[in-house]
C-alpha cells in the first residue's frame, strides 16, 4: 500500500510539473519545471527497478495478506 501511495505521489508531482511547464511563458521557468518533471520520471523508473530487483513473489504475497 505504501509503495502504491508513493508511486501515485511521484506521478502526481510529475504531472504537476509537466502542466506547469506547458503553461509557463518564461523559458527559464519552463526549463526548470521540465527538469523537475524528468527527475520525477527517474524516481518512478528507479522505484520500479528496485521493486523488480528486491520484491520476491513470496514477499509480495505476504504483503497482500497483511
On the CB side of 19, how many CA atoms lie within 13 Å of its CA? 6
Are the CB atoms for 14 and 37 separated by under 8 Å? yes
Q: What is the grid cell recorded at 25?
A: 511563458
Domain that holds residue 13: 2-65
Model pLDDT for residues 2-54, shown as the tens digit of each residue:
888 988 999 999 999 999 999 999 999 999 999 999 999 999 999 989 988 88
C-alpha distances (whole Å) from 54 to each of 11, 25, 43 are 22, 43, 16
DSSP state of 25: -
Determine the pLDDT at residue 9. 93
Closest to 45 (Cα-Cα) out of 2, 1, 14, 22 = 14
Domain count for the chain, please give it: 1
Determine the pLDDT at residue 61. 83
Q: pTM value?
A: 0.76
The residue written with cell numbers 514477499 in the block is: 59
* pLDDT above 90 (res 59): no
Amino acid at each position: 500500500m505504501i509503495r502504491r501511495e508513493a508511486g501515485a505521489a511521484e506521478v502526481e508531482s510529475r504531472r504537476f510539473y509537466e502542466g506547469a511547464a506547458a503553461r509557463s511563458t518564461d523559458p527559464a521557468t519552463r526549463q526548470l519545471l521540465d527538469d523537475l518533471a524528468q527527475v520525477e520520471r527517474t524516481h518512478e523508473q528507479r522505484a520500479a527497478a528496485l521493486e523488480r530487483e528486491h520484491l520476491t513473489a513470496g514477499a509480495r504475497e505476504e504483503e497482500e495478506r497483511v
